[in-house]
Amino acid sequence: MSSDSTAASKEMSLRYEGRCRTCGATVPAGNRAVYFRASKSVVCVSCFRGQPIEGAASTPAGGKTQTVSDNVGSLNVQRESGSSLVNPGSAGASAQREYERRRRKREERVREAHPRIGGLLLAITDDPQSTKAWASGAAGEMVLGRQLDGLVNDSTFVLHDRRTPPTKANIDHMVVSSSGVFVIDAKKYRGRPSLRVDGGFFRPRVERLIVGSRDQTKLVDGVNGQVSKVRAALAAADLGDVPVTGMLCFVEADWPLFGGDFSISGVRVLWPKKAASEVTAPVLIGSEVVHRTFLAIAQAFPVA
């Protein structure tokens, strides 16, 4: 980003359609965005909150500065007396960008195929489910992200939307606290999550995650894959003893009034408030190790 200062910018509802200068997504007229007077450009709210403006004098709106008094590798981390440091990322940012990209491509295809009535066709038809799923996923990540951001303090740090090099895959959220590291995958699914166990005395025991009536066990495998990557990164930083827990957090599921959370293949399945209570529960590691762990994780998994 350029060196526009926050004093020369304003978050507002756009009168005309704009294009985010960071991610390239279209920001429709009427949507909120940050307008920079000097360059007459806009930045979508997700990018502005997730990526501090170079030269800005304060933390972006809606974000919390997460400072630690240490330096690790090539991280842009300064001493407490300096300014900011580790970019916590923006919950749902990459999913929202993918939704905007797919929506923009569809609009271009329709207008090119039907120059005269393309606008009408777009107005009376909806995006395909494969496109809307990205918007729904982004919304779920944002809901959980807000819950987790409220936990940030001197011994609890939160990272959102982190890439897992060398792949393009990402981890929705990670929390580093005195309880260890928590790798959290947010899902905005309907239906009640439940644990189904088949087999027993004479057959191998098989656990399956059911959401509503659908088998979603593949989600558990995905989280365990992410947990393995995080453990490998910590081992490389000589922090292999730090506990790492995987979580699947369903933000709009049909949870029962009492209880309902469970574990499957080592992964906790729960809702946002329950996740928040567990990531700050027991004190297992000291503050110095918490800070080292946070920096190692932030370096190994950059913003997506």
Helix (H, G, I), strand (E, B) or coil at 190: coil
Report yes or no: 53 and 64 within 8 Å, Cβ to Cβ.
no
| Claim to verify: residue 31 and residue 81 sit in the same structural domain | no
159 and 24, same domain (yes or no): no
Range of the structural domain that residue 206 is part of: 69-87+141-300
96 within some domain: no
Percent of the chain with pLDDT over 90: 42
Give me the numbers of helices (H) and strands (E) for the chain, helices first please.
Answer: 7, 14
77-81, 240-244, 297-301: the lowest-pLDDT one: 77-81
- Domain shared by 58 and 207, yes or no: no
Report, in angstroms and rounded to the nearest whole number, the Rg of the chain calculated over CA atoms: 21
Quick check: is 110 in a domain?
no
Q: Is the dihedral of CA 63, 64, 69, 70 positive or negative?
A: negative
Chain centroid to CA 240 = 24
Are 15 and 83 contained in the same domain?
no
59 with 176, same domain: the answer is no
Distance between CA 277 and CA 295 in Å, rounded? 23
Same domain? For 29 and 78 the reply is no
Same domain membership, residue 280 and residue 167: yes
**Are 10 and 150 part of one and the same domain?**
no
Q: How many domains does the chain have?
A: 2
Decide which of 63, 96, 112 is a domain's last residue.
Answer: 63
Q: Is the pLDDT of residue 186 over 50?
A: yes
Instruction: Read off the pLDDT of each residue in 13-19 and give the average, rounded to a whole number.
Output: 78
Q: What is the pTM of this model?
A: 0.71
In order of 3, 38, 151, 224, the CA distances from 302 in angstroms are 22, 30, 21, 19
Alpha carbon distances (Å) from 185 to 61, 188, 220: 25, 10, 9
Residue 10 lies in a domain: yes
What pLDDT is attached to residue 26?
Answer: 77
Contact between 22 and 97 (Cβ < 8 Å) = no
Average pLDDT of the residues of the chain = 82
- Listed range (72-86, 215-229, 279-293) with the worst mean pLDDT: 72-86
Q: Is residue 221 part of a domain?
A: yes
CA distances to 27, 90, 116, 127 from 106, in Å? 15, 26, 16, 8
Q: Are residues 148 and 273 in the same domain?
A: yes
Q: Is residue 113 part of a domain?
A: no
Per-residue pLDDT, averaged over 151-155, amounts to 89
Same domain, 79 and 52: no
* SS3 state of residue 200: coil
Residue 16 lies in a domain: yes
**Lookup: tokens for 184:** 């959290």
Kindly report each contact of residues 23-31 with a partner whose C-beta sits within 8 Å and lies 24 or more positions away, as own/partner: 23/47, 23/93, 23/97, 23/100, 24/101, 25/96, 25/97, 25/100, 25/101, 25/104, 26/100, 26/103, 26/104
In-domain check, residue 14:
yes
Res 34 pLDDT > 60: yes
Q: Which residue has the tokens 């066990």?
A: 217
pLDDT digits (tens, 9 = 90+) for 45-99: 766 655 443 333 333 334 555 655 444 333 433 333 233 468 888 888 888 888 8
pLDDT at 208: 95
149 & 289 share domain: yes
Residues 78 and 12 in one domain: no
d(CA 206, CA 200): 8
Asked if residue 161 has pLDDT above 60, the reply is: yes
Domain boundary among 48, 63, 78: 63
Identify the CA nearest to 159 among candidates 262, 240, 233: 233
Which helix (H) or strand (E) covers residue 156, if one does? none
